[in-house]
């Protein structure tokens, strides 16, 4: 199943809610992912540009996009970004395919 990494940052409202009721937010995510047949691989609280990193598996990227929209609509995150991830071994096939496409693209202004 495809792997996705979601980066999120809390809004001031989200931080206030977490401070008012400190809890493991990873447990709150799995029921949401269950609704689309996805699963949580790991949830990490981080420092820096992102407050949360969620690693999940889902059959379809549109499911993950819908989850991101639903969570964003709550107002608790200020920013959510999800990227598709491949293992290094799986990415070899993508690099091989890219090699077959070399020269097929004409850059602007050419």
pLDDT digits (tens, 9 = 90+) for 76-106: 999 999 999 999 999 999 999 999 998 888 8
The 10s digit of each residue's pLDDT in 4-51 is 999 999 999 999 999 999 999 888 888 999 999 999 999 999 999 999
Q: Which pLDDT belongs to residue 28?
A: 87
Domains of the chain: 3-101 (3.30.70.920)
Going by C-alpha positions, the residue among 90, 78, 84, 80 that lies closest to residue 59 is 84
What's the whole-model pTM score? 0.86
Cα three-residue angle 26-51-71, rounded to 5 degrees: 55
Give the confidence band of 110 by pLDDT, cuts at 50, 70, 90: confident
| pLDDT for res 26 | 85
pLDDT of res. 71: 94
Q: How far apart are CA 95 and CA 101, in angstroms?
A: 10
């Amino acid at each position: 199943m495809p792997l996705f990494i979601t980066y999120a940052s809390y809004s001031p409202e989200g931080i206030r809610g977490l401070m008012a009721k400190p809890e493991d937010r990873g447990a709150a995510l799995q029921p949401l992912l269950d609704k689309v047949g996805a699963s949580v691989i790991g949830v990490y609280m981080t420092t820096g540009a992102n407050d949360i990193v969620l690693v999940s598996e889902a059959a379809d990227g549109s499911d993950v996009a819908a989850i991101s929209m639903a969570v964003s609509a709550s107002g608790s995150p200020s920013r959510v970004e999800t990227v598709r991830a491949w293992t290094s071994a799986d990415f070899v096939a993508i690099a091989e395919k890219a090699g077959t496409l070399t020269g097929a693209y004409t850059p602007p202004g050419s």
